[in-house]
């Protein structure tokens, strides 16, 4: 069930974020509602993925303290260049989707605007799938970028994948790989997903919204809703600081997109290839009404996926790839 958190919920969560006990009376006083209303509101935190522990005589606390997003701490992670190019940062308590949010504001916002949120009520994944987005435990980030001509955007999703994986490596995540075109995997399970939405003309200016979701501490209840094997950053040896991670990803995206604007895909090919999870693997590629079975043979100069099969090598620019496991 998705709830739309309002101001009272936001204030309650901010008060409880320290993980300590707070009495119903204190919470009521600080949020301007009765103790009975506090109790009712606390029940609404559960569907956000927040477990509240209540003890008579002591009050209420969150089962785990929260590392909430903080503008200054995110911005501290940007170098001078990225600070210049990150033209705005909207830090939301809850939105439907950070990408949908930027899409609605694209006409007022300049290239380089970022939206981060604690919670998405309608997180969007690729191929119309939902993106499971519980409160305060993962990262949900979108960046608006403008390019001259959608015709020049071939390979963009691989560029973004390289930017994200390099940012995660920089904060200490080890043994990450990429699954074409842009899933970040840890031990074969999905750690981060990227959604790229393009609007505009093939020749004139076009607008891209890059959406990045990173699992950082997925609660098990929400994890059970994910329909594919997943991993989170707690397993990877990375420094677990949401603000620092967000800063690192923004800086890496800005650097990557600027470089892509100037030089295209070529400078990213090697970085992508050395992290290719599918190279030499038996793969199945699903299309709308067919599938192709073969061996992954990496990517070509324009970022197409190469699959070797009985009759030769196919170059693919779309399709859902999975690794085939042999029955033992």
Catalytic residue (one of 61, 85, 190, 242): 190
- Of the candidates 141, 164, 208, 257, which one interacts with ligand BTN according to CB under 6 A? 141
Count other Cβ atoms within 10 Å, centred on residue 7.
Answer: 10
In the bound state with ligand BTN, the residue whose beta carbon lies nearer, of 62 and 100, is 100
Strands lying side by side in the sheet with 183-186:
88-92, 113-117, 139-148, 205-214, 189-200, 183-186, 176-179
129 vs 132: CA distance, rounded Å? 9
In the bound state with ligand BTN, the residue whose beta carbon lies nearer, of 28 and 211, is 211
* DSSP-based three-state secondary structure for 298: strand
Torsion of CA 266, 271, 274, 277, to 10 degrees: -100
- The closest alpha carbon to 144, from 108, 97, 104, 112, belongs to 112
Contact predicate 254/81, CB 8 Å: yes
Contact predicate 213/131, CB 8 Å: yes
Site for ligand BTN in 39-78 (CB under 6 A): none
Q: Tell me whether residue 242 is one of the annotated catalytic residues.
A: no
Q: Tell me whether residue 126 is one of the annotated catalytic residues.
A: yes
In the bound state with ligand BTN, the residue whose beta carbon lies nearer, of 11 and 129, is 129
From the list 1-9, 117-125, 197-205, 242-250, the region that binds ligand BTN by CB under 6 A is 117-125
Tell me which residue has its CB nearest to ligand BTN: 193
Number of residues lying near ligand BTN (CB under 6 A) = 20
- Min. distance of Cβ 190 from ligand BTN in angstroms? 7
- The closest alpha carbon to 298, from 286, 285, 308, belongs to 308
In the bound state with ligand BTN, the residue whose beta carbon lies nearer, of 28 and 303, is 303
Q: Which residue has the tokens 């911005």?
A: 75
Q: Does 131 bind ligand BTN (CB under 6 A)?
A: yes
Catalytic residue (one of 35, 126, 129, 255): 126
Contact predicate 92/115, CB 8 Å: yes
In the bound state with ligand BTN, the residue whose beta carbon lies nearer, of 181 and 296, is 181
In the bound state with ligand BTN, the residue whose beta carbon lies nearer, of 42 and 191, is 191
Cis previous bond, 25, omega within 30: no
Q: Which residue has the tokens 């094997």?
A: 229
Contact predicate 249/194, CB 8 Å: no
> Mask: binding to ligand BTN, 206-245, rule CB under 6 A, as x and -?
-----xxx--------------------------------
Q: Tell me whether residue 104 is one of the annotated catalytic residues.
A: no
Site for ligand BTN in 165-204 (CB under 6 A): 183, 193-195
Site for ligand BTN in 75-104 (CB under 6 A): 97-99
- Min. distance of Cβ 38 from ligand BTN in angstroms? 31
- Min. distance of Cβ 226 from ligand BTN in angstroms? 10
Helix (H) or strand (E) holding 83: helix 80-85
Tell me the catalytic residues. Answer: 126, 190, 324
- Contacting positions for ligand BTN (CB under 6 A): 97-99, 120, 123-126, 129, 131, 140-142, 183, 193-195, 211-213
């Amino acid at each position: 069930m998705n709830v739309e958190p309002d101001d009272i919920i936001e204030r309650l969560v901010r008060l409880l974020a320290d993980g300590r006990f707070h009495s119903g009376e204190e919470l009521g006083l600080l949020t301007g509602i009765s103790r009975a209303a506090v109790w009712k509101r606390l029940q609404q935190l559960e569907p956000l993925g927040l477990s509240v522990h209540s003890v008579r005589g002591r009050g209420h606390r969150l089962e785990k303290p929260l590392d909430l997003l903080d503008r200054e701490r995110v911005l501290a992670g940007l170098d001078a260049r990225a600070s210049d190019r990150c033209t705005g940062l909207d830090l939301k308590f809850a939105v439907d989707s950070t990408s949908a949010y930027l899409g609605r504001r694209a006409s007022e916002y300049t290239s380089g605007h970022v939206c981060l949120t604690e919670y998405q009520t309608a997180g969007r994944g690729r191929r119309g799938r939902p993106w499971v987005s519980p409160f305060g435990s993962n990262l949900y980030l979108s960046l608006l970028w403008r390019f001259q001509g959608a015709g020049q955007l071939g390979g963009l999703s691989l560029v973004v994948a390289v930017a994200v994986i390099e940012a995660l490596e920089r904060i200490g995540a080890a043994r990450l790989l990429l699954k074409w075109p842009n899933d970040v995997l840890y031990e074969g399970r999905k750690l981060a997903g990227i959604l790229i939405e393009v609007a505009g003309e093939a020749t004139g200016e076009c607008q891209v919204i890059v959406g990045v979701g990173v699992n950082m501490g997925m609660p098990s209840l929400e994890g059970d809703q994910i329909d594919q094997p997943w991993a989170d950053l707690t397993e990877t040896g990375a420094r677990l600081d949401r603000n620092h991670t967000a800063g690192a990803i923004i800086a890496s995206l800005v650097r990557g997109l600027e470089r892509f604007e100037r030089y295209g895909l070529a400078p990213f090919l090697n970085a992508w290839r050395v992290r290719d999870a599918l190279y030499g693997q038996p793969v199945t590629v699903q299309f709308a009404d067919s599938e192709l079975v073969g061996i992954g043979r990496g990517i070509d100069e324009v970022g197409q996926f190469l699959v070797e099969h009985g009759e030769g090598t196919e170059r693919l620019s779309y399709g859902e790839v999975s690794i085939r496991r042999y029955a033992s």
